[in-house]
Amino acid sequence: MVRSHPRGTLWKAVPENFHSFQRKGYPGVSRLMDALPVVVRTAFLLILSNIFMTFAWYGHLKNLQHAKWYIAALASWSIALFEYLLQVPANRIGYTQLTVAQLKIMQEVITLSVFVPFSLFYMQQPLKLDYLWAGLCLVGAVYFIFRA
């Protein structure tokens, strides 16, 4: 079955129960997630995904600084697995109502929103005005990608 995407592209319909997130023993989770708008579900999963991604990419610089590079890589890959377990469903859910470009810009905004506190509080890096400028550039990107 083929349906028209809200932005005019075609996509193959997924089974109706795809987005239910049904977990045995937690029936309320699926009802809660189904009650939330697609954009909220997507953003929530992408925020969690980005937390794992940021630790996978940069956490080893603090925690495994003196370890061999391949130990850091294995640790990063094991963390990144959880990132992908959240990111893939997030993008699949989001793509039911958003374009790929909108998903990408949403991801970049969330990435910067997660990275700045990580950099400041976990990595103890100084606050830079560059974060503000990068954020303003992303505001412009959001405007241009999401305008009707």
- Rounded Cα distance between 74 and 117, Å, is 25
Going by their DSSP bridges, the two strands 10-12 and 2-4 should be labelled as antiparallel
- Rounded Cα distance between 98 and 42, Å, is 10
pLDDT score of 27: 59
pLDDT score of 131: 87
- Rounded Cα distance between 90 and 49, Å, is 9
Residues contacting 134, CB < 8 A, separation 6+: 112
pLDDT score of 5: 52
User: What averages of pLDDT result for each successive group of 10 residues across the chain (148 residues)?
Assistant: 47 47 55 86 97 96 95 96 96 96 95 94 94 90 87
Q: How is residue 138 written in tokens? A: 């992303």
pLDDT score of 21: 46
- Rounded Cα distance between 135 and 114, Å, is 12
